Chain A
Amino acid sequence: MATCLCDAFFDEAAKASVEVLEGLGIEVVIPEAQTCCGQPAFNGGDWEASRAVVRHTLEVFSGEDPIIVPSGSCAAMVFHGAPLAFEKEKDRALVDQVGGRTWEVFDFIFRGLGISTWTGSWPGKVAVHSSCHTRGTGTPEAIRSLLGSIEGLDLVDFAEPEQCCGFGGTFSVSFPNISRNMGNLKIDNILATQPDLLVSGDMSCLMHLRGLAEKSDRALPARHAIELLRDTMDASILSHGLANH
């Protein structure tokens, strides 16, 4: 599942996800008819509109294969949000079936495939922003474990990591002042550690933080964490514990 954000702005992140999975020997199918997970309407309270879009997504991703998403936010929509929106609906069972095989990409590599270390080297300081939708999932540990194992890569911790970046989807335009202030607090905390790069499993957070930084002329290099895995991946990755799979 590419996600609508990657479709619109961040093809590089979606590409990198596919490349990493294929590098691990996985056959990746990209259904052409996919559009969006339905979250924007869901969060805004328009559950009718959201369900309509979710139903389309259920159809596109029908089957038995794991669904991999380069976004903690979209993945959480599929396995947590959609069941909530379909609580009183007749096709609730189908929602659960699809949600049950949907994974955020890092969590899939770490817990799904059992791979906890990576190849290659990337010398530098990397700050990891855990998106709020990965709370209670395997993703934060997955990102830290995989990136932290890359040679030369120094994970830096910044203050108040539990504080949301302020994106929150339509929240960013419904509550623009609070959203901006939250983002700036996050940027200040991150920049205080002087990282070479900021990464996250969610481009939505990065779009918001990078956008704020750029508008106020601050440098904040930021990429999707999966791009680092793609860049440092070499052939030896195949012997990295795929035996578990």
Chain B
Amino acid sequence: MASQIIDNYAAELLEDVQQSVRSGSAAGTEKRFKVLFEDFPEADRMRKLAGEVKQHTLDHLDEYLAQAESALEANGAKVHYAWDDKAACGKVEEILQQSSAKTVTKSKSMVSEEVELNDFLAQKGYDLVETDLGEFILQLDGDHPSHVVKPIIHKNRAEIARTFEKHGLGEYNDEPEVITRRARSFMRKKYLAAEATITGANFVSAESGRICIVTNEGNSRFGLAGSRVHIALVGIEKIVPRDIDLSLMLNLLGRSATGQALTVYTEFISGPKAAGAVSGPEEFHVVFVNNRRTEVLESDCREILRCIRCGACMNVCPIYRQASGHAYRSVYPGPLGAVLSPLLAGAEGFPELADLPKASSLCGACNEVCPVDIPIPDLLLRLRDRGKKEHAAKASANTPPMGAWAWVAQSPALWRTSLKSANMLNLLPYEKIPFGPLGRWTKDRTLPPWRGGKFRAWAKNRKKEAK
């Protein structure tokens, strides 16, 4: 039986990468716990409320999307829709062409990774630069994020210094401050040269037609201030009903993601620049992207769309910590990715990622830290059911078949007989059996002595004595 891809990936992962990922994740988990519960003794109740707000929105998403569209348009934004990745890339290109933009600055957007926007625009000859420090480094390396909030959690300073040197950003210097200053200098020219800027959005308020972008670096601010055209690429599930819902979401997001009450910049954008402003976009476009979200909404795993991309689940996940983000072979890693990625792959793509829901001990730590209370373990189980029904080979790798066990477990007499007869195991050097599930167990662990039938015998005798 072939082994599980993610388990192999973890086994082969370089020591220093695993160290980086583990310490970054553990720090995030610790900070979240400290800040969230110091500030809000009722934090768990807030998580459940936020989950209900998001679920309500999803359950009425047709209404709220229509409301958001009207409100945005009333604010002077142009609203577009993209059914899938091709449409999203095509729509962005159309807007860039219409405004004769050639140079583009870009802020973090996970949905842009989904639709592979950067490669598309590069091929079409656009000069596009990622402005978030982590994303900038990844772009230079031709690499991809391994965490939704800390994109280069898998890299250390030496690797970054080498990358900068390779790309003419200065002689090798791995001081974080130097690295940051170099990026700052480099990017300032780009912001001013760019005609267009592309961002994501953390939230969209249907009530007021505002999008909300949270950053620490100030890159989206500069991207907007420097350019003429702003394109926001937004998954349709990012909508919340009202501005007041943002008070709950924003109080949970920063603390869950990085242990901050608020990130340094929280931007509420509802249109192009004000009439009197010198700098800022003259056009504000919002492209609502579907990319199979309606399929997920229709499925029995719709709760995953509540996600506000805080990264707390992957920070706490013991499997993510061992394997790192790239093991998930998709845009979204960790517990989030284990549910969302196979679903976003559609019916044809599901088998390729059907092992992701298996990469979990179902410990539930993810649900415990999720700011919108997504029942991730239940969703993983549903996807395992689907993987088995569709006979996905990647899902069943290394999974002991349950047919015989189920047969014995339905027959009390057979069960008791098996319990007693397996006492023979104690005579066998079973740790010398190198194959199958038993072999995989005994490679690293001893097995306790088999004591089948002992409890039953005791129970029977005790009944006799009572009489």
Check A-B contact in the complex, CB < 8 A: yes
Chain A residues with a Cβ under 8 A of chain B = 2, 4, 6-11, 14-15, 18, 30, 32-36, 38, 40-47, 49-50, 52-53, 55-56, 60, 81, 84-85, 87, 132-133, 135-136, 160, 162-164, 166-183, 185, 207-208, 210-212, 214-215
Contact with A along B430-464 (1 / 0, CB 8 A): 00000001001101111111111011101100100
B406 contacts the other chain (Cβ, under 8 Å)? yes
Which B residue sits closest to A167, measured CB to CB? Answer: B361
Complex CA–CA separation, A177 to B362 (angstroms): 17
Of A10, A44, A132, A167, the most chain B CB neighbours within 10 A belong to: A44
B415 touches A132 (CB 8 A): no
Main secondary structure of the interface of B (DSSP, over half): helix
Complex CA–CA separation, A56 to B437 (angstroms): 26
Which B residue sits closest to A184, measured CB to CB? Answer: B444
**Which residue in B318, B386, B409 is a CB contact (below 8 Å) of A182?**
B318
A178 touches B322 (CB 8 A): yes
**Which residue in B4, B26, B399 is a CB contact (below 8 Å) of A44?**
B399
> Which one, B6-14, B90-98, B170-178, B230-238, is touching chain A?
B6-14
A175 touches B319 (CB 8 A): yes
B318 touches A170 (CB 8 A): no
Chain A residue contacts of B381, Cβ below 8 A:
42-43, 45, 81, 84
A9 touches B363 (CB 8 A): no
B10 touches A170 (CB 8 A): no
Complex CA–CA separation, A164 to B359 (angstroms): 13
Which A residue sits closest to B449, measured CB to CB? Answer: A9
B7 touches A175 (CB 8 A): yes
A49 touches B440 (CB 8 A): no
Q: 23 A-B residue contacts at CB 8 Å?
A: A8-B419, A11-B454, A30-B459, A32-B459, A35-B409, A41-B406, A42-B381, A44-B388, A46-B406, A53-B409, A60-B412, A84-B381, A135-B364, A162-B29, A173-B398, A173-B440, A174-B4, A175-B10, A175-B398, A178-B7, A178-B359, A182-B322, A183-B445
Known: A45-B387, A178-B6. A215 touches B361 (CB 8 A): no
Complex CA–CA separation, A174 to B444 (angstroms): 13
Chain A nearest Cβ from B400, distance in angstroms: 6
Complex CA–CA separation, A64 to B13 (angstroms): 52
Chain A residue contacts of B11, Cβ below 8 A:
177
Chain B residue contacts of A32, Cβ below 8 A:
412, 416, 456, 459
Complex CA–CA separation, A185 to B18 (angstroms): 13
Chain B residue contacts of A133, Cβ below 8 A:
364
B361 touches A15 (CB 8 A): no
Known contacts A9-B449, A32-B412; 6 further A-B pairs (Cβ under 8 A): A45-B395, A45-B399, A49-B405, A84-B382, A170-B437, A208-B445
Complex CA–CA separation, A97 to B257 (angstroms): 40
Chain B residue contacts of A214, Cβ below 8 A:
445-446
**Which residue in A168, A208, A212 is a CB contact (below 8 Å) of B363?**
A168
Known: A56-B410, A172-B441, A173-B437. A15 touches B455 (CB 8 A): yes
- Chain B, range 386-435, C-beta contacts under 8 Å to A: 386-388, 395-403, 405-406, 408-412, 415-416, 419, 422
Complex CA–CA separation, A211 to B445 (angstroms): 4
Contact with A along B362-390 (1 / 0, CB 8 A): 11110110000000001001101111100
Complex CA–CA separation, A8 to B7 (angstroms): 28
B446 touches A9 (CB 8 A): no
B108 contacts the other chain (Cβ, under 8 Å)? no
Known: A44-B388, A45-B388, A164-B365. A178 touches B446 (CB 8 A): no
B360 contacts the other chain (Cβ, under 8 Å)? yes
